[in-house]
């Protein structure tokens, strides 16, 4: 990826609610202020990328430890988590402007893997109580 494009993406990412942003070999790595914002940030980065850089491109998001990685890919290789009609016309949107979110399997897996033991125990007790155990 060209350095000028990487710089444009980094500049945009730094306007979001993030702790740290880094571009490594064309992949954007972000540490977010709040991990729950990952899908909103994904939508904003995708909208920026498609409107300002590559109209027929896509963005895939992956949870990597306490960071999120964003790969910029051709449209046909993008994971099917977005409907273009849901996100059309949202150039420059910020987290407070988003009224719809898309939950990614990666974010769900990361949250479930990092769930505190007390919460997991409470959820198991509630399930057993509903079953009459």
Q: Is the pLDDT of residue 34 over 80?
A: yes
Tens-digit pLDDT profile for residues 42-97: 999 999 999 999 899 999 999 988 899 999 999 888 888 765 554 444 444 444 44
In angstroms, the CA 21 to CA 31 distance is 7
Greater confidence (100 vs 39) lies with: 39
Tens-digit pLDDT profile for residues 104-119: 555 556 666 665 666 6
Write out the H or E segment, with its range, that includes residue 105: helix 105-113
CA atoms within 13 A on the CB side of 6: 13
Q: What is the pLDDT of residue 133?
A: 64
Q: How would residue 100 be classed by pLDDT, with cut points 50, 70 and 90? A: very low
Q: Which residues contact 31 (CB under 8 A, 6 or more apart)?
A: 18, 19, 20, 21, 66, 67, 68
List the domain boundaries for the chain: 3-130
């Amino acid at each position: 990826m060209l350095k000028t494009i990487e710089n444009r993406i980094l500049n945009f990412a730094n306007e979001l609610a993030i702790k740290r942003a880094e571009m490594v070999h064309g992949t954007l790595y972000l540490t977010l202020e709040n991990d729950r914002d990952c899908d909103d940030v994904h939508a904003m980065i995708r909208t920026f990328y498609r409107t300002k850089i590559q109209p027929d491109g896509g963005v895939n998001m992956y949870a990597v430890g306490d960071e999120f990685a964003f790969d910029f890919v051709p449209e046909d290789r993008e994971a099917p988590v977005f409907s273009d009609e849901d996100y059309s016309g949202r150039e420059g949107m910020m987290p407070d402007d988003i009224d719809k979110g898309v939950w990614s399997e990666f974010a769900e897996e990361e949250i479930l893997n990092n769930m505190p033991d007390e919460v997991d125990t409470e959820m198991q007790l509630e399930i057993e109580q509903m079953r009459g155990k």
